[in-house]
């Protein structure tokens, strides 16, 4: 099929199709303070920074090792704070 550059109807249809596909990929809204994905990423980066400050090489951790370390640190924190709240 040979396209005729003077065929305005075909060119308009092609433009409409292109616009449709371009608009599919555009986010409908972006609210930085209320975005769960951004909050998750920021939280994860905060955890990674804390681990690196503790001397843990986070770049070499597998997903399992990463979550195991988080669970270990959470348990350690809970036991430390629950132990200090006990009355003698």
Q: Is residue 21 part of a domain?
A: no
Number of domains present in the structure of the chain: 1
Q: Is residue 6 part of a domain?
A: no
Q: Is residue 79 part of a domain?
A: yes
Residue 87 pLDDT > 60: no
pLDDT one-digit tens code per residue, 10-69: 888 888 888 888 777 766 666 656 677 777 888 888 888 888 888 888 888 888 888 888
Residue 88: the pLDDT is 45
Domain holding 82, by residue range, is 59-88
Q: Is residue 28 part of a domain?
A: no
SS (H, E, C) 12-78: HHHHHHHHHHHHHCCCCCCCHHHCHHHHHHHHHHHHHHHHHHCCCCHHHCCHHHHHHHHHHHHHHHH
Q: What is the mean pLDDT of residues 68-78?
A: 88
Residue 18: the pLDDT is 83
Q: Is residue 76 part of a domain?
A: yes
Q: Is residue 39 part of a domain?
A: no
Model confidence, pTM: 0.45
């Amino acid at each position: 099929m040979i396209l005729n550059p003077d065929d305005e109807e075909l060119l308009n249809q092609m433009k409409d199709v292109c616009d449709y596909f371009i608009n599919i990929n555009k986010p409908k809204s972006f609210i930085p303070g209320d975005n769960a994905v951004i909050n998750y990423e920021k939280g994860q980066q905060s955890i990674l920074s804390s681990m690196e400050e503790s001397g843990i090489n986070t770049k070499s951790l597998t997903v399992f090792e990463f979550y195991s370390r988080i669970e270990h640190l959470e348990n350690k924190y809970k036991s430390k704070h629950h132990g200090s709240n006990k009355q003698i």
